[in-house]
Amino acid sequence: MKLYQTILLLFVTTLSLGQNNRSKEPATFLDSAFISANTMNYINSEEIESVNIIKNDTIINNNSYAGQIHITSKNPNKYIFLSLEQVKSEYTKIKKADVIYMINGEFIKDNIETFKIDKNYILTVEVTNSNEFYNIRKSDRKFDMINILVRTKNNLDNKNQILLRGYEAVGLK
């Protein structure tokens, strides 16, 4: 009887104190493709046609979300979404899994599995190895940093800017 009570007590405490994968953010869909909420930071707001909100809780990939946001764009066939792993395999030669992702210099800390970015919105992809950092060179842990620059006004202006350097003055007569 004591064994039965102990097992019952362990079962009840496991159920009541177990971890819950419930997210406080809603599940976001763009043209019926499941994306992370962070992906919307890199979609032009002028290309959104309509937004539909469903308040029912939803379970996707064993994660519970507080509702759904369905976004319809003006041109649904325009987007070609790539996951961060697809960006890594398509734009770099990195084969190992130790990678830190950045977009426009900001670290991607969560939702890495569901984070998607439009292939047409990628300007360049820069790869930096941990050996290039002075403080990390002697560390046993080696990793790569992938910085994805997207087509924003500032990035396009910096890309098109031409810098002239030299000691002589250039002028017209």
pLDDT in tens, 127-169: 887 777 666 666 777 788 888 888 777 766 777 766 666 665 5
Cβ of 30: how many Cβ atoms within 10 Å?
21
d(CA 166, CA 173): 19
pLDDT at 172 (0 to 100): 54
pTM: 0.63
Structure tokens at 121: 């919105």
Q: What is the pLDDT of residues 106-130, one digit of tens each?
A: 888 877 877 888 888 888 888 887 7
Q: In this predicted model, which residue has the larger pLDDT, 39 or 173?
A: 39
The rounded percent of the chain whose pLDDT value lies above 90 is 2
- The phi, psi pair for 29, rounded to 5°, reads -125, 130
Give start and end residues of each alpha helix (H) in the chain: 2-17, 84-91, 153-160
Residue 70 to residues 20, 63, 116, 125: CA-CA distances in angstroms?
Answer: 25, 18, 16, 29
Q: Tell me the two tokens of residue 8.
A: 């019952």
Looking at 9-23, 67-81, 109-123, which range is the least confident one?
A: 9-23
